[in-house]
């Protein structure tokens, strides 16, 4: 073979790739360790022996052989982290990667040329070492999705990433959320981006962004014409610079999702934002929630909302809206004909005027309506009752913490028909009475709640035992029920429930039930033993158990609070997961119970909090769970039973 190569001229000879020379020593090691199957090695050897002079077959087979060797190293690297190698997706989130691992991963980049998605999120030990990886990212030329959330990235990491992005012409999704140290450093990232980039989604949630970053991001938007999703939520210091960022939204006319939750919005910045709405006719989701400084700002924004002809979801919860804001919103609602989801929760001054805006909603299209803790007046509630007859597509209704519901639930349920699509109902702390539970039982018996998946009846201590018993006797009508919460409020002293036999009798008829929360109900030994049998009822292998708390002690019966759906759970390290959860609840003193899931393989992970987190923190926690491949049993992340167990 050497003689054949010597007969070829330098120009005829195909030069051996540098990466092949780099991996030459490893190749020999893996042969000795059995890293390459004998049949593959034989094929490579046979190819070289059968190569004809002048055809370049020897060099081609060399390249093929080194590719096989490289993919073998990729398999070894991913398998030692407990993940399965995939030619199109590299998911290494929450693998406790170190700087050494990053260097090793960098050497594998030439063999990941077909990878389209790369997720290295929640590996906080790789911060400061990203340059070793980005230097080789040009080999992954088909990369479309890059996620690096929760990695403690530094300014140097951002600069190295920015340089690498110039070579990733197909990149569409970039997620850098939960990297608090990159605040004030966005110029290092966007300073290298070409104006012809194809990024469609940019996630910068909770990155400590400043007013200076807002200016840099605004300048970058001038060239990001393909952008469809922009999320800069939970960056409170961003508020002062939003007046320079939001005017540049006119350059991203294909924007579909804009999330500005908890960004320090003020009436002035809202006014500037509204001027860009005329250029955002494609916008479908607008989240302005948790901006308490935006009070009275909707007066300036509302007249421009009509330009958002395709708006489907509007989130204004916890914005301290006033009656003037609601009157302004009421004027524009008829023009939002495609609106399907509206969240006005935790705006206590709006309850007295909700009756007018309910009539202005595009009721025929509404799917989700959240009015929790709005201090609804009797007139507003009666308007909602009338509107229920015109809400054929309603899937989610949240009325928690509105006392006007207590004693008046019957009229709300009466218009429901058998074909009702209602899947979620939140009635926590509504002052429900025994009659209300009887109406709920009647609705279940009529079959109008057959699609209900999440039902929250917690903190309604005024219901007598007979009401609970009647409700559980007819619970079989909720055949799709996944989650049920009948917990008592923290100050309650519950008695042994006489309705438990009714619950145990109906349990086999609830095949989808996964979680039952009944905190602060007092149970005897026999009752506890009976509840343990629920995990085996009806052959439902996905039932997660019963959660109870009494006298400050949480008890979980056969419960797995988090369950795997997408990820390789058995290979996550419990303490690492705990560390990131505590980062989300950084302002809350919390105790956690975790086990090393390498051994248990089912992640029995519980998190107890001494104080209730805000809805913003709960939403953040939900995003953490989703990013590591879990579904949250509690359903919507805004409503966690944080007084007991998440």
Query: What's the pLDDT at 543?
Result: 52
Question: What pTM, to 2 d.p., does this model score?
Answer: 0.77
Lowest mean pLDDT across 45-49, 183-187, 323-327, 632-636 = 632-636
Query: What's the pLDDT at 458?
Result: 94
| CA–centroid distance for 220 within its chain | 26
- The CATH architecture one would assign to domain 395-553 is Alpha-Beta Horseshoe (3.80)
The pairs formed by 620-626 with CB atoms below 8 angstroms and a separation of 24 or more are 620/205, 620/206, 620/234, 620/584, 621/581, 621/584, 621/585, 621/646, 623/177, 623/205, 624/122, 624/150, 624/178, 624/580, 624/581, 624/584, 625/562
Query: What's the pLDDT at 4?
Result: 35
Helix (H) or strand (E) segment spanning residue 579 = helix 574-584
Q: Tell me the average pLDDT across 182-196.
A: 80
CB atoms within 10 A of CB 364: 10
Q: Tell me the average pLDDT across 615-637.
A: 44
Q: Tell me the average pLDDT across 549-578.
A: 39
Contact yes or no for 265/300 (Cβ under 8 A): no
Helix, strand, coil content of the chain in percent (nearest 5): 40, 10, 45
Q: What are phi and psi of 432, to 5 degrees?
A: -60, 150
Residue 205 makes CB contacts below 8 A (sequence gap 6+) with 149, 177, 178, 231, 232, 233, 234, 235, 259, 620, 623
Query: What's the pLDDT at 371?
Result: 97
Domain boundaries, the chain: 2-80, 395-553, 569-632
Go through 70-98 and write b for each residue having 16 or more CB atoms within 10 A of its CB, e for each that does not: bbbbbebbbeebbbeeeeeebbbbbbbbe
Q: Tell me the average pLDDT across 312-333.
A: 94
**Residues of the chain above pLDDT 90, percent:** 58
Helix (H) or strand (E) segment spanning residue 147 = strand 145-147
Residues in the chain: 646
Q: Tell me which residue of 623, 582, 630, 624 sits closest to 604, measured CA to CA.
A: 630
Tell me the Ramachandran region of residue 54: left when phi exceeds 0, alpha when psi lies from -120 to 50, beta otherwise. Answer: left
Q: Tell me the average pLDDT across 150-160.
A: 94
């Amino acid at each position: 073979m050497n003689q054949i190569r010597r007969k070829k001229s330098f120009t005829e000879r195909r030069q051996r790739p540098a990466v092949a020379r780099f991996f030459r020593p490893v190749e020999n090691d893996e042969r000795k360790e059995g890293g390459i199957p004998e049949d593959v090695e034989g094929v490579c050897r046979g190819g070289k022996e059968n190569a004809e002079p002048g055809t370049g077959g020897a060099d081609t087979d060399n390249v093929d052989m080194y590719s096989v060797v490289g993919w073998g190293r990729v398999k070894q690297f991913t398998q030692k982290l407990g993940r399965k190698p995939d030619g199109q997706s590299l998911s290494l989130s929450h693998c406790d990667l170190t700087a050494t691992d990053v260097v090793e991963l960098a050497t594998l980049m030439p063999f990941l040329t077909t990878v389209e998605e790369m997720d290295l999120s929640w590996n906080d030990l790789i911060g400061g070492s990203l340059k070793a990886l980005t230097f080789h990212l040009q080999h992954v030329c088909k990369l479309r999705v890059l996620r690096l959330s929760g990695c403690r990235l530094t300014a140097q990491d951002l600069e190295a990433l920015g340089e690498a992005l110039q070579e990733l012409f197909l990149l569409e999704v970039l997620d850098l959320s939960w990297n608090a140290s990159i605040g004030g450093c966005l110029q290092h990232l966007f300073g290298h981006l070409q104006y012809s980039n194809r990024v469609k989604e940019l996630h910068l949630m909770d990155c400590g962004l400043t007013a200076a970053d807002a200016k840099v991001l605004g300048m970058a938007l001038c060239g990001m014409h393909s952008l469809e999703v922009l999320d800069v939520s939970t960056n409170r210091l961003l508020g002062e610079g939003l007046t320079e960022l939001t005017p540049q939204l006119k350059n991203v006319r294909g924007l579909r999702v804009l999330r500005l939750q908890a960004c320090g919005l003020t009436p002035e910045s809202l006014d500037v934002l509204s001027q860009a709405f005329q250029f955002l006719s494609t916008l479908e989701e607008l989240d302005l929630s948790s901006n308490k400084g935006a009070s009275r700002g909707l007066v300036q924004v509302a007249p421009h909302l009509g330009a958002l002809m395709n708006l489907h979801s509007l989130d204004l919860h916890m914005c301290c809206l006033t009656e003037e804001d609601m009157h302004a919103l009421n004027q524009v609602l008829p023009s939002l004909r495609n609106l399907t989801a509206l969240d006005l929760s935790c705006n206590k001054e709006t309850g007295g005027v909700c009756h007018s805006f309910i009539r202005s909603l595009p009721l025929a299209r509404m799917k989700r309506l959240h009015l929790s803790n709005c201090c609804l007046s009797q007139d507003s509630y009666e308007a909602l009752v009338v509107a229920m007859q015109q809400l054929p597509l309603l899937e989610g209704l949240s009325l928690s913490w509105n006392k006007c519901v207590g004693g008046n639930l019957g009229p709300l349920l009466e218009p429901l028909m058998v074909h009702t699509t209602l899947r979620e109902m939140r009635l926590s702390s509504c002052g429900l009475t025994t009659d209300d539970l009887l109406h709920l039982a009647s609705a279940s018996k009529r079959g109008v709640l057959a699609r209900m998946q999440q039902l929250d009846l917690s903190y309604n201590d005024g219901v007598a035992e007979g009401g609970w018993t009647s409700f559980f006797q007819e619970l079989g009508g909720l055949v799709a029920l996944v989650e049920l919460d009948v917990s008592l409020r923290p100050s309650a002293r519950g008695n042994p429930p006489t309705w438990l036999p009714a619950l145990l009798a109906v349990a086999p008829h609830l095949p989808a039930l996964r979680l039952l929360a009944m905190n602060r109900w007092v149970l005897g030994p026999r009752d506890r033993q009976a509840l343990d049998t629920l995990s085996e009822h009806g052959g439902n292998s996905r039932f997660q158990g019963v959660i109870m708390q009494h006298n400050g002690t949480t008890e979980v019966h056969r419960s797995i609070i988090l369950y795997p759906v997408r990820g390789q759970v058995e290979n996550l390290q419990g303490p690492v997961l705990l560390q990131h959860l505590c980062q989300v609840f950084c302002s809350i003193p919390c105790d956690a119970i975790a086990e090393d899931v390498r051994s248990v393989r089912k992640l029995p992970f519980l998190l107890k909090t001494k104080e209730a987190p805000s809805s913003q923190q709960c939403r953040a926690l939900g995003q953490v769970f989703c990013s590591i491949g879990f579904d949250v049993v509690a359903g919507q992340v805004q409503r966690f039973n944080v007084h007991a167990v998440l």
